[in-house]
Structure 1
Amino acid sequence: MIRYALPALLLASVLPVHAQSPADVPLIERAKIFGNPSKTAAKISPDGKWLSWIAPRDGVLNVWVAPASDLARAKPLTDEKTRPIRNSFWSPDSRTVLFIQDKGGDENFLLYGVNVDSGKQTNYTPFEKTRAQVLHISSKIKDRILVGINNRDPRWHDVYSLDLASGKLTLVQQNDGYGGYLADDQLKLRIAEKARDDGGTTYYRITDGKIDSKPLVEVGLDDSQTTAPWAFTADGKTLYWTDSRNRNTAALVAQDVASGKTTIIAEDARADIGQTLTDERTGRVQAYTVNYLKQEYVPVSNDVKADLAFLKQNTKGQFTVTSRTEAEDKWLVAVDPVTAPASTWLYDRKAKKLTQLYVSRPELEGAPLAAMHPQEIKARDGLTLVSYLTLPKAVDPSGSGKASKPVPMVLFVHGGPWARDGFGYNSYHQWLANRGYAVLSVNYRGSTGFGKNFISAGDLQWGRKMHDDLLDAVQWAVKNGVTTADKVAIMGGSYGGYATLAGVAFTPTTFACGVDIVGPSNLFTLLQTIPPYWEAGKQQFYKRMGDPTTEEGKALLKERSPLNFAGDIQRPLLIGQGANDPRVNVRESEQIVDAMAAKNIPVTYVVFPDEGHGFARPVNNIAFNAVTENFLAQCLNGRAEPIGGALKASTAQVKHGAEFAPGLADAIK
């Protein structure tokens, strides 16, 4: 659906474990953490004959394919020269690997396909300033899929049927103001979604291509991110919903289409129901996930109960089923041990056999990776903040989660804000912990996955209660001996970048320094420059952030914009930005840099002309992180790998303040 949504325990008990010197822990090269993985994102074709994955070709991530029975015959399918392909998926007939790709981070994603036999690549959506979206792929109809294309009106995606062999696009539904559509396995549109003025959503039934005038379901603002139609069964008779109406967390609900009767399939008071495993042939749900502190699979039927139990028993780490054949006989399973690099396995259900296909980052095997520890932190008003703590091995060599002494800490804030942090290998946690810092990530109010009440608690609280949650988490860390109050940095991207700017501007002496990556500084201009295809979500932005069309809303947005308090900033600040960012326009960074420079307040500003909302190209990510770790080392006295040639290998442009970041001026000579 196109939617806008926002280990030696016994020994440790006998012998005391002494804190190590940081010098005893080898420094992991940042390129091993942030460079290209050897292989990633594997998929098995529906017919089970092929495996595809993403791997470097001449230094750039591309799509590779091999017969499932002979990986030695692997060959590259694509030949991208600069921008990495980050994911791919199979056509229902198993003949074509599909992927989406933009240019320079502009998020005008076009849909491409490569025929496995011939190697011919086709641009299925050859339009300018267009964002294509895959609406539905059915296992029942093999030769075509449904796609959304906004080339007629950038605000709305018209629905087309795409013939995969010929590339022909046939209009199915012109979109005159609907936020999304849901189709069944016959590729018939069944439900349309429309945004309401109050930030909620109305759903309409579609019959024979016509959208009913009478609403099927009305959903208010509170339920708008936790209630939606999910998928039809293959026979079209049952509609699954994720549904938080009359409850807090989102349940999985089955609705009989004919009678309208609903049945709760799954619910959990701790967290929303997450992903599902569905029978590829019938579309019926077999299992679901709940992600509170960690992700857990829960079987619904006996179909996969034994399989999930087998995987839990025979994998060392948190596992995720990532791809399955149509016959349900083979699964791909990703395994994340956190303290070792992730691996991907082929699971033969009949033989109950796991075969390792690859390790994503073999260069990290044996590296001193640190354990991650889920924490429940109480906010000042009693809300529980699910958080994740990683400690340097020097102060927690056994991985107990308890520091032998306080160390400097980086508060690493997730973006969104309507997203969440989770348990698992985290490249930033590992990198920063290896440099000697405790790392804490907090699911502040407004984060998703913990029910509608937790999301709504963040409404109109940017820079206020959402920020208070971060401050409360820092106090928790200080109280529990993780760090000291004078040695905490704040860092993040997108909303995490905003939180960084808010941190140094609104609470100017709380943090020792800040690192802002593509964060908004001015909430007015942020809302003025959001992409046109976010039109359906605009009212929800207004209701949850502040409404720029009302005087009260204008006052709130002004009060919550760090730009207006730039003169209060006292601590070192590093800003990274992609010049082509369609979500957080480059002016968001330029404005606050200019304001600080006008008052002679130190700030370092690095721009990447070929990036958007974040840094997709590893050379650019490595370059910015090279600057970051040396910046943090000056601020927090941690370790750092010298910048070396990292910047020269990238497209980085240091626009301001090279003199304020150690080694940066020399690196750009």
Structure 2
Amino acid sequence: MSEAASNATSHIAPNPALIPRAQLFGNPEKALPSISPDGRHLAWLAPVDGVLNIWVAPAGAPGQAAPVTRDTKRGIHSYSWTFAGPHLLYPRDADGNERYHIHCVNVTTGVERDLTPFEGIFAAVYARSHLVRDRVLIAMNRRDPKYFDLYALFIESGELQLIEQNTNMASFIVDERFNVRVATRLDADGTLQLFERDGHHDVDVDVDKASAAPWKPWFSFAPEDARVSHPLFLNRDGTALFLSDSRARDTAALVRLDLATGERRVLAEDARCDLGGVIVDKDTREPIGYGSYYTQHAWHALTPGFQTDLDRFAQHGLSEWHMVSRTEDDSVWVIIGKSALAPGKAYLYRRDTGALELLFDTRPDLAHAPLVPMQPVTIRARDGLELVSYLTRPAQAEGAGPLVLLVHGGPWGRDGFGFHPEHQWLANRGYSVLSVNFRASTGFGKRFVTAGDLEWGRRMDDDLLDAVEWAVREGIADPGRVAIVGTSYGGYAVLAGMTRNPQRYACGIDVVGPSNLETLLATVPSWWESMRAQLVNAMGNPATEAGLALLRERSPVHQANRIARPLLIAQGANDPRVRQDESDQMVAAMKHNGIPVTYLLYPDEGHGFARPVNRFSYYAVAEAFLARYLGGRAEPMTAAERQASSMQVVEAGDMHELA
């Protein structure tokens, strides 16, 4: 234990019961419920021999559920019903390489099939429709690894028919008959161009050949708008396109564009945040409600019927919820209700009667755990930007104590309010936890997200420093006991923060974080080609002398000699986004400079840790690391946890017990 940590242990909050890692980071008892379109079946994810699989039950008898898949390794984490009888589709990759295949299981017979059995591809379900029930539309990069073509995938036969051959488009919008109506493309300067099909809006889909109709330029979103603006979907008869649109405003509004007249009507807007999470009418596919998310998520009604739904949920105390499934006739919804103190409860909502029936609690083992509340706070950056942040403090915490700055990934993502297992884990171990929506985070308008352009490791790092200083001023953080922890971009922030500000943090933990922006851009997955312009504009252009110099200046690997405090790095060997070489480079640079580092490598993981046994070993090492250098508590790693995990200790640093 460091001297600072040793001297501070008496100031840590009184100890509540230690919440086992397995309860926070293990598989949920049940998760991701859904109802079949015909309302006859319920499905959810639940473990089979410790691995998440799909279970199915008659809608009227959930207690008769049985598993219909038998994954034995990484587990199944998402799935969807089809309109083609009793079939479920789900993606699977190999050891985290993100080369997903589309698998199908017949819930009646139990027969499983790989419907895209091709080497090296990435495939995903793109659309489904009740008008073409025997097939789904999928996107797959089999022809060209950089671009996704659209195919009709016939569920029973597995036949694939090319619908749209893609040469340079980023995305498509299709109608209810799978006609490809709108295309988008990102230009080199970041402009998002929209194209419409030339004279072919009302032609039925022809599954025998790809569409030959040319694309005609339509309108565009300027680079700054393109960061938050994009087309969403068409209404059922294909006469209107709905947009997330920030033109003539800072935040993205929900806009309806009439395709015949060109009339553009703003349906909803919020000056504080971009809108999202639209719920549509089952018959017209016109929006009935939308979500806004500044400090906390809120639903808003566009129709009296949806307002009735919201009122009913409020009467049951459900303010934080989201829809995960609905029947084809819209009579039954499946929703998840959440709060900062509960990981989630699944409900069946019957719209005709207003009845709300509890299906299950996602993690019942936490029902009596000593969870603590999360507090939204707004921190002002040095240049005036408002940083929406979230603070969780240990139970009965008083005065300044150890703080963990937990940095989100992306950076085009955001932290939010609600149940956060890492916040609860760290607070339970004795630390205050602060998550900050630094500039470049999404959801707060175009000016906020573009304020992060070319500011990796500079103003984005300044925002984190300003948040720490706020916590010190507020008497929350002891300035000598602050750790920085992050995954993906958050891992980069750890490395950047510890090289740029070597005395600021007592220690840091980087999970799958890039260390060299030059090699990161050179090795991003081929299927990210359509978004390369935005990556370059945000980080620096390696094709120019100035851009290359900037990338090298902001790459922590070239400043590794400045690291002065303990660092833990964890990496998945099969990560296609931030490759193992990013961590290897940083570790090699630190060793070259005689600086100890702890390095964990997981040979069967990718961008994060999907297997529970691997999560347990990582969090066990991480909390022992934090306890050593901040003075908090730790649940010891068991021999069984260590043996079950694939964790390889490449470098033990100062944690000699790992060697």
Report the TM-score, using the length of structure 1 for normalisation.
0.94
Instruction: Render the CA deviation track for 1:171-216: whole Å, top value 9, x for unaligned.
Output: 1111111112110111110011112010222111024434545311
Q: Which residue of 588, 598, 602 maps to 1:604?
A: 598
Q: CA deviation at 1:21?
A: 7.2
Question: Is the Cα contact below 8 Å between 1:341 and 1:365 reproduced in 2?
Answer: no
Among residues 17, 22, 28, which one is paired with 1:37 in the alignment?
28
Range moving further from structure 2, 453-462 or 349-358: 349-358
**Alpha-carbon offset, residue 139 of structure 1:** 2.9
Does the aligned pair in 2 maintain the 1:633–1:639 contact within 8 Å?
Answer: yes
Distance 1:211 1:411, change over 3 A: farther
Q: Which residue of 1 aligns with 2:629?
A: 635
CA distance in 1, matches of 2:604, 2:108: 33
Show the counterpart of 1:231: 233
Write the distance in 2 (CA, Å) between the matches of 1:409 and 1:444.
17
Output the CA distance in 2 between the equivalents of 1:420 and 1:25: 30
- Paired position in structure 2 for 1:651: 646
Which amino acid counterpart does residue 378 of structure 2 have in structure 1? E
TM-superposed CA distance for 1:303, in Å, is 2.0
Q: How does 1:553-568 map to 2 (within 5 A)?
A: 553-568=547-562
Q: CA deviation at 1:23?
A: 5.0
Residues 173 and 162 of structure 1: is their aligned pair in 2 closer, same or farther, counting only changes over 3 Å? same
Distance 1:565 1:331 in 2: 53
Rounded to whole Å, the distance in 2 between the matches of 1:233 and 1:272 is: 21
Q: Find the counterpart in structure 1 of residue 357 from structure 2.
A: 355
- What are the within-5 Å matches in structure 2 for residues 269-348 of structure 1? 269-315=271-317, 318-348=320-350
Q: Which residue of 1 aligns with 2:74?
A: 83
CA gap of 1:284–1:557, structure 2 versus 1, over 3 A, is same
Superposition RMSD on alpha carbons, in Å? 1.4
Cα deviation for residue 341 of structure 1 reads 3.5
What are the residue-to-residue correspondences of 1:133-172 with 2, within 5 Å?
133-172=124-163
Conserved in 2, the CA contact under 8 Å of 1:604 and 1:661?
yes
Q: 1:215 aligns with which of 214, 217, 220?
A: 217
Give the SS at the match of 1:409.
strand
1:249: which partner in 2?
251
Alignment of 1:164-563 (within 5 A): 164-207=155-198, 208=200, 209-210=211-212, 212-315=214-317, 318-395=320-397, 404-563=398-557
Q: Report what 1:102 is aligned to.
A: 93
Aligned to 2:610: 616
Contact map agreement 1:410 1:491 (CA 8 A) in 2: yes
Matched position secondary structure for 2:585: helix
Equivalenced residues, count: 638
Q: Secondary structure at the match of 1:303?
A: helix
- Structure 1: distance between partners of 2:218 and 2:130: 27
Paired with 2:177 and 2:282, the residues of 1 have a C-alpha distance of: 14
Structure 1, residues 324-373: CA drift from partner, whole Å, max 9, x if none? 11111111111112223421111111221111111111111110011011
Seen in structure 2, the aligned counterparts of structure 1 residues 582 and 563 have a Cα distance that, compared at 3 Å, is same
Distance 2:394 2:336 in 1: 26
Change in Cα spacing, 1:493 to 1:633, as seen in structure 2 (3 Å) is: same
Q: Deviations over 1:296-337 (max 9, x none)?
A: 000011121111111122035622222111111111111112
Paired letter, 1:415: G
Q: Which amino acid aligns with 1:437?
A: Y
Q: Which one-letter code corresponds to 1:288 in the other structure? A: Y
Q: For 2:161, what is the secondary structure of its paired residue?
A: strand
Contact 1:268 1:290 in 2 (8 A): yes
Deviations 1:29-70 (A, max 9, x none): 111110110000111111111111110011100011111100
Take 1:659 and 1:555, find their aligned partners in 2: how far apart are those partners?
A: 31
Q: Which moved further from structure 2: 407-416 or 637-646?
A: 637-646
**CA distance 1:247–1:270, change in 2 (3 Å):** same
The 8 Å contact of residues 245 and 252 in structure 2, kept in 1 or not, is answered as yes
CA distances 1:465-504 after superposition (whole Å, capped 9, x unpaired): 0000000000111111111111110001000000000011
Q: Secondary structure of the residue that 2:638 maps to in structure 1?
A: coil
C-alpha displacement of 1:602: 1.2
Report 1:103-122 matches (<5 A): 103-122=94-113
- Name the aligned partner's letter for residue 436 of structure 2: V
Residue pair 2:57, 2:65 contacting (<8 A) in 1 also = yes
* Equivalent AA in structure 1 for residue 218 of structure 2: L
The SS at the match of 1:160 is: strand
User: Distance between the aligned counterparts of 2:19 and 2:536, measured in 1?
Assistant: 44
Equivalent-residue separation in structure 2 for 1:504 and 1:525 (angstroms): 20
Partner secondary structure for residue 389 of structure 1: strand
Aligned to 1:626, which of 614, 620, 627? 620
Q: Distance in 1 between matches of 2:12 and 2:85?
A: 54
Q: Identify if the C-alpha distance between structure 1 residues 170 and 292 changes in structure 2 by more than 3 Å, giving closer, same or farther.
A: same
Say if 1:286 and 1:300, in contact at 8 Å, map to a contact too. yes
TM-score (norm 2): 0.95
Q: Residue type matched to 2:645 in 1?
A: S
Percentage identity across paired residues of the two chains: 46
Structure 1 residue aligned with 2:118, among 124, 127, 140? 127
Task: Indicate the residue corresponding to 1:9 in structure 2.
Answer: none
Q: Is the 8 Å Cα contact of residues 631 and 662 (structure 1) preserved in structure 2? A: no
5+ long unaligned stretches in structure 2: 1-9, 201-210
Structure 2 Cα separation of the partners of residues 337 and 442 of structure 1: 19
Q: CA deviation at 1:626?
A: 0.4
* CA deviation after TM superposition for structure 1 residue 662, in Å: 6.3
How big is the shift at 1:590?
Answer: 0.2
One of 594, 599, 622 as aligned partner of 2:588: 594
Letter in 2 for 1:216: W
Worse overlay, 566-575 or 88-97: 88-97
User: Contact 1:204/1:212 (CA < 8 Å) preserved in 2?
Assistant: no
Task: Quickly say closer, same or farther: Cα 1:168–1:419, change in 2 above 3 A.
Answer: same
Assess if the C-alpha contact under 8 Å between 2:620 and 2:636 holds in 1: yes
Residues 596, 653 of structure 2: 8 Å contact kept? no
Deviation at 1:20, TM superposition (A): 11
More deviation, 315-324/509-518: 315-324
Deviation at 1:644, TM superposition (A): 1.8
Change (3 A) 1:514 1:24: closer
User: Cα offset for 1:552?
Assistant: 0.6
Aligned to 1:7: none
**Alignment check: 8 A CA contact 1:147 1:161 kept:** yes
Where do 4+ consecutive residues of structure 1 move more than 6 Å? none
